[in-house]
Structure formats: structure tokens, C-alpha cells
Amino acid sequence: MIDIGTQEYRRVNTTLALGSFVVFCNLYLFQPMLPHLAQHFSVTETQINWVFAATTLILSVSLVPWAVASEAIGRKYVMVLGLLAMPIISIGMLMFSSLLGLVLMRAMMGIAIAAFASVAVAYMAEELSPQAFGQAIGGYIAANSLGGISGRIIGGILTDAFGWEQAVVCMAIVTLIGALLVMLLLPKQIHFSPQRGMLRYHNRAVMKHFANKTIMLAMLIGGLNFALFVNLYSVMGFRLVEAPHLLPIGLASLIFLCYLPGTISSKLTAIWTRRYQAISGIIVGTSISLVGMLIAYFDTIPLMIVGLCLISFGAFFTHTLAYSWVSQKATFAKATATALYLVHYYVGGSLGGFLLIYCWQHGGWLVVMFGGAPLYLAIFALCHQLKKGSAVNVEVTEPKRLP
């Protein structure tokens, strides 16, 4: 196993963080563009949300198939394949002038993103020592945050200055460079043996993971957490470009710098888990995010920024703890388990947008708060069940590998 401080650890940590960075740049590139695209295509806020939701929905259903494929052809091959496909799909977006064509290409982008996202954490869990993994997972998710920030700011500023097409071209170039670096620098797996003809095994593994209460509850927490986090930002984007603020898209996209507290909090989880329980950390993170949503109610930009910073800090703290919980509690088919977590995560992000943006359209941030409150309460209830379930040590056995 690779330990902290070794050259191999630095290569794994750096290259997977780079891959994560470009993946999340591509995933969130269009989020700040939504108000501009709604005007460009003359559609409502809820309708234009499909540009973002199509990516996350198709991403979610592609995760498990990619995880299964990685068991046969290897984690690295799957990750590199997805990274190399992304700039090609980006250029394909420029060939369509209709909203439907753009939505379809963004759906294809979800398939490519899933190739990397579904197996990166499994690669780390298999190749790194437990201590190195605990350190690396925080850096990996911090790179998620930085990628999300950069993609959104690039999308907003370039769209404001030159148009959304130029933003797509710029991101395609950055992605191609990142994909080539990951392909060349990421070490081959040593603690992994390809397994072919195991579709039935992984189907049974999926059912076993669903039967594991301690894993399933953490997956639901991840989905609800992301439904709130990413879509509170989407709503804030619409809020800032409308009266009374009337900010341009480029300036409004700078709110995504409020992701930076999330980058910090994801790294702090390693310190938290050495001293306290992960479940209590999830409760703390969710509480901080809830306070942020309430503070953002006040219609002044400084308080909205404070609210977004708290939402980011709390949501990333919760996400990192829940994500690592699933990868560590799964005693077999780790790639499938982490992919299932991300399925819930991105389905939550997709569906939560239609809920919270609908609330925004029909009553502003106050109604958004009423729409988000039941989701926060559901997370607290799931944490209570998770704490009860984890106290009962129920062993879930690995399904038999049939020839």
C-alpha cells in the first residue's frame, strides 16, 4: 500500500486532484450561464435548468455501469477514457443551435464525467494505506470544490465577455491538457486484479449494498445534501441578476468563490475523524449549512455572501464525511459502493433544482427556505437512524463470485 510522504503518494494525490478539477470544471461550467441561456433561448428558469439537470441525471445513471466496467478493464483506463471524451463532446456542443441539441450533448457529457467520478475514490481506497486514504480523500474533494469554482467563474466571465461558445472552447482546451497529464502521470494499479464476466456478481453487490443500512443511509444523506447545496447556488444566480441587484453574469458568477470555505472544510474532516465520530460531523456540517440558508434571506449582498460561505463550508464537510463513510464501510465492490453514493448525490442535485427553482419562481428566497427546510430535517432524521444502525454491527457478506 502507498503511504503518506512517498513519491507514489504525491503522484496519485496530484493527478487525481487534477482529474477531479477538470471534471468538475466541465460539470458546472453551465451553471452560471443559466440566466443568460434562459434569455437566449426564451424559456423559463425551470426549463433552462435541464441544461444542468441533464448532465447530473445521466451522470448518476452512468456511474454504476462504469464502476462495473472498471472491474474488468481497470480503474485508470476508465478514468482516462472519460477525460479524453470530454473535450470532444464539448466541441460537439457548438454544432447545435437548439436548446434540445445542447441538452443532449450535456447529457453525453454526464456519461463521460461518470467514467472518472465513479472509480477515482475506489482507486485511492485500493492503492493507498488507510492513513494515506484519509488524507487524500480530503484533497480530492477539495479539488472538486476548486474545479467547481473555476468552471463556474470561467463560464460566467467568458459568457459575459465573449459568449457561451467561447467559454466551451476554452474549457475543452483545459480539459484536453489535464486528460493527457493524468494519462501520463497516474501510476498503474498494483493492488487490483481485473475480473471479467462479473455482471451478475455486481448486480448482487448492488443489492447487498442497498441492504446495508449503514451505507444506504449515508447515500441518502449525500443526495439530500447535494440537492440543497448546488441548487441554493443556482437560485442565488437568478436572484442576483434580477432586480434590485441587476448584476451582470460575469460579476454574479463570482459568488462561486464562496466555494472556498468548502475546500477548507473538506480538508478539516481528516482532523475531525481522528477525534470525533463521522456522524456527529455530518450533523455539524448540516447545521452550518442550514444557518447559511437562513442568513442569505437578508437581501444585502454581504449577508448573502456570508450565507453562501456557510452553506459551502457545511455542505462540503457533510459530503466528505458521508462519501468516505461509504467507501470505508463497504467491505467489497468498493467502486460499486462509491458509485451508488454518487448516484444518490447527483440525482439529488438534479431533482432538487426543480424544487428550489420552482420555489424561487413562486415566492423568492422565503419560499426557497420553506422548500429547503424539510430536506434539512430529513438529513437530521437520517443521521439519527444512521447512529442507531451503526451501533448494531450487522455484517453484510460478499456475494459469491459465480463462474
Neighbours of 186 (CB within 10 A): 21
| Structural domain includes residue 323 | yes
Residue 401 lies in a domain: no
Q: Is the pLDDT of residue 168 over 80?
A: yes
Compute the average pLDDT of residues 87-101: 93
Lowest mean pLDDT among 155-169, 202-216, 349-363, 386-400: 386-400
Average pLDDT for 254-274: 90
| The residue count for the chain | 403
Within 8 A by CB and 6+ apart from 264, the residues are 142, 313
Long-range own/partner contacts, residues 244-252 (CB < 8 A, 24 or more apart):
244/299, 245/301, 248/160, 249/32, 249/33, 249/35, 249/36, 249/156, 249/159, 249/160, 250/156, 250/157, 250/159, 250/160, 250/161, 251/160, 252/32, 252/35, 252/156
Residue 401 has pLDDT above 60, yes or no: no
379 strand-pairing partners? none
Domain for residue 403, yes or no? no
CA separation, residue 204 to residues 115, 196, 214, 343 (Å): 21, 15, 18, 17
Q: Which CATH number goes with the domain that contains 107?
A: 1.20.1250.20
Lowest mean pLDDT among 125-129, 200-204, 283-287, 302-306: 200-204
The mean pLDDT value for 86-90 works out to 97
Mean pLDDT throughout 379-397? 77
The mean-pLDDT minimum among 31-45, 319-333, 337-351, 388-402 falls in 388-402
Q: Confirm whether 400 is domain-assigned.
A: no
Answer whether residue 383 shows pLDDT above 60: yes
Q: What mean pLDDT comes out for the span 293-311?
A: 97
Query: pLDDT of 52-71, one tens digit each?
Result: 999 999 999 998 888 888 88
Q: Based on the number of CB atoms within 10 Å of its own CB, is 315 exposed (0-12), middle (13-18) or buried (19 or more)?
A: buried
Q: Which residues span the domain enclosing 191? A: 7-391
What's the pLDDT score for residue 402? Answer: 45
Higher pLDDT, 285 or 126: 285
Q: Give the pLDDT confidence score for residue 399 in this predicted structure.
A: 58
Give residues with Cβ within 8 angstroms of 272, minimum separation 6.
278, 281, 317, 321
- Looking at the structure of the chain, the number of domains it has is 1
Q: What is the pLDDT of residue 198?
A: 62
| Predicted confidence (pLDDT) at residue 199 exceeds the cutoff of 70 | no
Domain assignment present for 397: no
Average pLDDT, the chain: 90
- 402 assigned to some structural domain: no
- Assigned domain for 333 exists: yes
Q: Who contacts 187 (Cβ-Cβ below 8 Å, separation ≥6)?
A: 8, 11, 12, 127
Task: Give the residue ranges of DSSP H helices in 29-163.
Answer: 34-41, 45-48, 50-73, 75-93, 99-117, 120-127, 130-161
Residue 2 resides in a domain? no
Q: CA 12 to CA 213: how far, in whole Å? A: 31
- Does the pLDDT of residue 304 top 60, yes or no? yes
Distance from the first to the final alpha carbon of the chain: 29
